[in-house]
């Protein structure tokens, strides 16, 4: 006959599961930060995309108008030169506006990244202790 041994299980955990609450609180907080960052990134991409499309369509119209004027009145040198100079000035204004938008958005990204990194570095120390508590829930030390 074989002898069966009953395994006795310890009903109490190795640590108090409530001590893991800060770990999950931190996960939820970081998920919220990530979600906010992604939403802001999406909004930033939309702002840049809208500006690019506006510039593209306006520039196409200007080129068509300029081409029309020069084609219909090729002998009106004074008006054609003025139209080319005016179109060039408008194109430069648009380029500067786009460069300003890129600079502003890049500056905002840098500030957001700096803030995020500072926050991440400040919470790293606490994460180590929380991680040890989490690990000790399943292992004996």
User: What is the predicted pLDDT for the residue at 87?
Assistant: 96
Tokens matching residue 13:
């955990």
Residue 129 reports pLDDT greater than 90: no
Residue 65: inside a domain, yes or no? yes
- Asked if residue 59 is part of any domain, the answer here is yes
Highest mean pLDDT among 43-57, 102-116, 124-138: 43-57
Q: Which range of residues forms the domain containing residue 36?
A: 30-118
**Which pTM was predicted?**
0.62
| Residue 24, domain member (yes or no) | no
User: How many domains is the chain built from?
Assistant: 1
d(CA 51, CA 64): 20
- Tell me what the mean pLDDT of segment 102-117 comes to: 84
Among candidate residues 24, 28, 20, 21, the one with its CA nearest the CA of residue 138? 20
Residue 126: inside a domain, yes or no?
no
Inside any domain, residue 18: no
Characterize 12-39 residue by residue with b for buried, 16 or more Cβ atoms within 10 angstroms of its Cβ, and e for exposed.
eeebeeeebeebeeeeeeeeeeeeeeee
With cut-offs at 50, 70 and 90, classify the pLDDT of residue 141: very low
Mean pLDDT (whole number) for 128-135: 63
pLDDT at 110: 82
Stretch 103-123: mean pLDDT, rounded?
Answer: 80
pLDDT tens digit string along 59-102? 999 999 999 999 999 999 999 999 999 999 999 999 999 999 99
């Amino acid at each position: 006959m074989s002898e069966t041994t009953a395994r006795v299980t310890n009903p109490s955990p190795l640590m108090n599961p409530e001590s893991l609450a800060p770990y999950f609180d931190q996960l939820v907080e970081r998920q919220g930060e990530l979600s906010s960052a992604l939403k802001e990134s999406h909004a930033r991409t939309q702002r840049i995309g809208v500006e690019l499309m506006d510039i593209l369509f306006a520039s196409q119209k200007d080129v068509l108008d300029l081409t029309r004027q020069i084609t219909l009145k090729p002998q009106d040198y004074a008006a054609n030169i003025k139209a080319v100079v005016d179109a060039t000035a408008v194109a430069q204004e648009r380029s500067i506006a786009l460069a300003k938008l890129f600079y502003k958005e890049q500056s905002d990204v840098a500030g957001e990244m700096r803030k995020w990194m500072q926050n991440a570095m400040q919470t790293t120390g606490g994460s180590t202790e929380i991680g040890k508590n989490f690990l000790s829930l399943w292992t004996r030390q």
